[in-house]
Structure 1
């Protein structure tokens, strides 16, 4: 059976500096947690790791890749013979109705609690703390943290959610929050949480920066190689020829996740044509279908670049 384009794209992993840095920080946080656990009950507050960025910046991919490589099939490679289930890292994707009660219930579900809806908030939190101790949790991860229904905190008015997140970190359990800038505004409004922060957020690339364009270009080149490696096309696709990198930057807003979705559309166009790789024409068509349709950009930079080149050729 031929590889499915969408399925293969979701499994593609391309390493870049922020990707590597994020993984190294998570490794360091886990190492510190294990060292603290070895002190037999002495409580050492843990870091509050933040991974924020725009939608489609690549946040979830960084997180998914870490869990895949360090916890294959749920097994902690640091202690492969440990008790089952291990739950060294517990990850949950918060839904759109994450009130404080829902927030606690979702945590209990992540620990496979048989009755996550039972008990008042204090009882629920007691069970969560007991699970953290039972499994020696090294990472408690909250993806889509922008779905938390919390207001901004002040020194005198921190929400229950702020208090719980801060309390878990101060009690020694490393917290990882993943979300958009909206989540950052809410969560980091708590000064005490800010004092614990270890930030691995994805910064916005600047098209006017030569260094950033090189980083983006490297990602474009790697993506072209991945299309062949994943068996989608027999030939490597070249996304760094001419001014293609600059055009793709404009069409994706410089976001790696958006670029992947754009190239995914182009791959479908190329496959329907029976092409041996994804070419510039396919990218041009995908910009119409994805970038312009989703109002990322109002024009097609590849088409405009071709028009400009054609005019210059006629003048010459």
Structure 2
């Protein structure tokens, strides 16, 4: 876990020869660390508060949390689970938080079975839809579940069949009402469409939070982005000659990742890999140029590579580019 309030004490750089040990150590740190930047911390604390409102005074709070793919929703979900892990009281199991991945084709049957699986019901396929739902409500009370996270919410709208969608969303509304637990609906940005076609869900989820990509639109956003990159650099066991300490390099990192944390990790992984395979003494600009082409966009060469001298500071979000989004 990396906290932005303490990044200045992480480590000082030394000329360390990249070997297999430092290579794998750096890759592991990249993929296991969690950076509590401002937006992440805000969302994390709001979901914690939804849990605490139910736990402490019995009032459930419902939140919809959205964000583009790769912005940290899965990491957020894992950190919330770690914050409130299951435990035993005598011979009774308590599950403070239940996380359910919405099935690819959400129906009452598939949704109820997904919930029962997470509740460790060995007979999750048995019974009618009503019987499964009754078992779910019984388990939620028995295990004292205070908060339920339904992830991959976009699956509700991916099928384009509003009749089936309406039935599934009505079932979800019933679980929300009868479980008396705080509920977090989590998914891609387009997931909010579900609330526009179900007025009753819309009223229940007036609290909406987002995990947006980083940006470089103003001095505050630049500072947040550069600090996140600095945290990553300072937790890799290898020195840099091309670093965000030089402010002119920040835009290259932004255009290469579109401010999305999963692409940032891929970029650093690729740069470390190139330095290791080529026995370099530092991670330099060419390492990141290689990483962008081989880890993010295979057509990203020359003027289409943010780390190439000919790059002209353009967003790579047009058709056939890596960050193009179909509207």
Displacement of 1:306: 7.8
**Contact 1:98 1:149 survives alignment (8 Å):** no
- SS of the counterpart of 1:215? helix
Given the alignment of the two structures, is residue 170 of structure 1 paired with residue 170 of structure 2, yes or no? no
- SS of the counterpart of 2:154? helix
State the partner residue of 2:65.
Answer: 51
Structure 1 residues 198-250: Cα deviation after superposition (integer angstroms, max 9, x where no partner): 2221134443333222211111111111223xxxx377983332422111111
Distance 1:55 1:99 in 2: 23
Displacement of 1:70: 3.5
- SS of the counterpart of 1:160? helix
Q: How does 1:104-119 map to 2 (within 5 A)?
A: 104-119=112-127
What is the aligned counterpart of 1:89 among 55, 76, 97?
97
Distance 1:6 1:97 in 2: 35
Given the alignment of the two structures, is residue 34 of structure 1 paired with residue 41 of structure 2, yes or no? no
**Contact 2:266 2:296 survives alignment (8 Å):** no
**Contact 1:88 1:136 survives alignment (8 Å):** yes
- SS of the counterpart of 1:129? helix
- SS of the counterpart of 1:148? helix
Distance 1:147 1:190 in 2: 15
Unaligned segments of structure 2, at least 5 residues:
1-19, 314-327
Given the alignment of the two structures, is residue 217 of structure 1 paired with residue 226 of structure 2, yes or no? yes
Given the alignment of the two structures, is residue 196 of structure 1 paired with residue 204 of structure 2, yes or no? yes
Structure 1 residues 266-289: Cα deviation after superposition (integer angstroms, max 9, x where no partner): 222122233455332211111111
State the partner residue of 2:38.
Answer: 17
State the partner residue of 1:287.
Answer: 292
Displacement of 1:134: 0.8
Displacement of 1:196: 2.4
Distance 1:298 1:101 in 2: 51
Instruction: Give the 3 Å change call, closer, same or farther, for CA 298–145 of structure 1 in structure 2.
Output: farther
What is the aligned counterpart of 1:102 among 103, 110, 114?
110
State the partner residue of 1:40.
Answer: none
Displacement of 1:133: 0.8
**Contact 1:224 1:236 survives alignment (8 Å):** no
- SS of the counterpart of 2:35? coil
Displacement of 1:5: 5.3
Which stretch has the larger CA shift, 47-56 or 203-212? 203-212
**Contact 2:63 2:184 survives alignment (8 Å):** yes
Q: Please, what TM-score do these two structures have when normalized by structure 2?
A: 0.77
Unaligned segments of structure 1, at least 5 residues:
38-43, 309-316
Q: CA RMSD in A?
A: 3.2
Instruction: Give the 3 Å change call, closer, same or farther, for CA 50–278 of structure 1 in structure 2.
Output: farther
Displacement of 1:129: 0.8
- SS of the counterpart of 2:175? helix
Given the alignment of the two structures, is residue 304 of structure 1 paired with residue 304 of structure 2, yes or no? no
Aligned residues: 289
Q: Please, what TM-score do these two structures have when normalized by structure 1?
A: 0.79
